[in-house]
Amino acid sequence: MGISNAIVVGGGIGGLAAAAALARRGVAVTLLEQANALREVGAGLQISPNGLAVIKALGVETQLRSKGAVEAQAVVLRDYAQGRPVARLDLARLRPAQKYLFTHRADLIDTLAGAAKRANVTFELGVAVASIRPGPVPAVQMSDGSTRRAELVVAADGIHSVARPVLNGPDKAVYSGQVAWRAVIPNVVDHPAEARVHMGPGRHLVSYPLRGAELINLVAVEERSAWAAEGWQHCDKPDNVRKAFAGFGGDVPAMIAALDEVTLWGLHLHPVAANWHQDGVVLLGDAAHPTLPFLAQGANMALEDAWVLAQAVTQAGSDDLSASTAAYQNQRIKRVRRVIDAAAGNAARYHLRPGPMRSLAHLGLRTASRLAPGRMLGAFDWLYGHDVTRRDKA
């Protein structure tokens, strides 16, 4: 029942997960990727329980852990000046089956690629997609003039998706007034298995360990009026990070002193696409719903998308592809909008300026963390407790 063949455009997390999930359900999948090799360098990811549910369902949790994924024990909010804890989200209080991992993006890419290869996905690397055309048999026009066709084309090609404007018109992205630096450094501060959010006026810095705690992933965000381009590939000078975070205490000075290479990303606000599907073409992950990185859910939402899409187009009674892709969008759109709104709200809370509002906010966090730690974690049940694979386990 459902489709028999598909093309996936994009060899990132969402594309690889979708390819593997579809192929495991009997779909013949070809994955197109413009890079000559599947690789991601210099980046960490937080895989929360909702995303890990998909990793488990794909049968690759053990492989990911074997690459040095660190099991997270907490998320700790810290004041910038001296690095003192403000609040602690104790992840040890998660349900026994729920785990939260820190992993290198390259390790997750490699793990998902392995799952796709074992499911007999065909890979075409070093090929560029020029356009995607919906239709009775949708077409992918390549830059070399050739054409690929399949019953379903999954556009998992990120924020600069070729397919998104075809389905929705020109993107209306707006610069958020914030930039983010990203880097990976040696573990120079004996960083524990926790994500630390160092909150300062108009800026914050996130750190957590990778690869058996040998490395630390850093994401540093600053409010800045000057426009900056999207994309992690833009190199910047480490001294710019040191200057921006010169007033931070605790472990921050040692970590930013260890910076060797950094990349800079201008954070832009993209509306959630109104149309995720049309005549055999469907959007997935950032192509449909880019989010700010303040809830660590970009990769997790792409993983959820991949599983739900594969389920929708292959389940019994799914012969009407338009109805199946509509069901996928309907199942996902409210959730991703809630995640995007929550991420945007975190930015404001992290960047409070000194004054009564900041003092009251931090007092409230300290009190809740000390007196009601279970309730504090429970506020994230809607996010971490959501398991898109549950229907397949029934």
The residue type at 202: G
Q: By C-alpha distance, which of 93, 116, 112 is closest to 52? A: 112
The residue type at 283: L
Q: In b/e form, how buried is each residue of 99-134, taking b as 16+ CB within 10 angstroms? A: bbbbbbbbbbbbbbbbbbbebebebeeebebeebbb
Instruction: Answer yes or no: are the C-beta atoms of 218 and 181 closer than 8 Å.
Output: yes
CA angle, residues 340, 19, 295, in degrees to nearest 5: 20
Beta bridge partners of 147: 141
Instruction: Answer yes or no: are the C-beta atoms of 210 and 217 closer than 8 Å.
Output: yes
* Rounded Cα–Cα distance for residues 17 and 58 (Å): 8
Residue for token pair 């909008």: 337
In this structure, what token pair is assigned to residue 346?
């975190």
Q: Give kind and range of the element (H or E) at residue 299.
A: helix 298-314
Cα-based distances in Å from 141 to 5, 129, 138, 149, 282: 17, 6, 10, 9, 16
Task: Indicate the SS3 state at residue 360.
Answer: helix
Q: 241-245: long-range contacts at Cβ-Cβ below 8 A with a sequence spacing of 24 or more? A: 241/181, 241/183, 244/203, 244/220, 245/200, 245/203, 245/205, 245/220
Q: 57-61: long-range contacts at Cβ-Cβ below 8 A with a sequence spacing of 24 or more? A: 57/307, 57/389, 57/392, 58/17, 58/20, 58/21, 58/24, 58/112, 58/115, 59/115, 60/111, 60/112, 60/114, 60/115
User: CB 261: neighbour CB atoms within 10 A?
Assistant: 14
Rg of the chain on CA atoms, in Å:
21
The burial class, CB within 10 Å (0-12 / 13-18 / 19+), for 82 is: exposed
Catalytic center residues: 208
Beta bridge partners of 178: 223, 267
